[in-house]
Amino acid sequence: MICTTVRNGNECVFMAANGCSYNGGSCHPVIEKCDGCKRTSEFESGVFCVPCPEPSAKWKNGNCNLATHVSTVAASKKQKINPIKASKRGH
């Protein structure tokens, strides 16, 4: 249904005949961590995330999985090799 609240005019799954059914009755604005993400969109009522109604929830357990401005590839941990131990292991 078409949103008539904060994202007025946008199609939204949470919109119902009796108003927004999302927690709190409307979308929550983007948070600081969303700065630079291409999924943000500016509306008269503020800046909101297009795919997610509550950006802070997306960042609760680490990086947002939909963010376009952060790499989701975890940095591979390089194991340090102790050269002395390595030489002992070799013999």
User: Which residues of the chain form contacts with ligand SF4 (CB under 6 A)?
Assistant: 30, 34, 37, 39-40, 49, 51-52, 55, 58, 64, 66-67
Please say which residue, 11 or 83, places its beta carbon nearer to ligand SF4: 11
CB of 56 to ligand SF4, least distance (A): 8
* Whether 58 contacts 64, CB under 8 Å: yes
CA distance readout (Å), 19 to 6, 23, 25: 11, 12, 7
Q: Which is nearer to ligand SF4, 61 or 76 (CB)?
A: 61
Q: What is the smallest separation between the CB atom of 73 and ligand SF4, expressed in angstroms? A: 16
In this structure, which long-range contacts are made by residues 68-73, counting pairs with CB atoms below 8 Å and at least 24 apart in sequence? 68/37, 68/38, 68/39, 69/35, 69/36, 69/37, 69/38
- Nearer CB in complex with ligand SF4: 10/39: 39
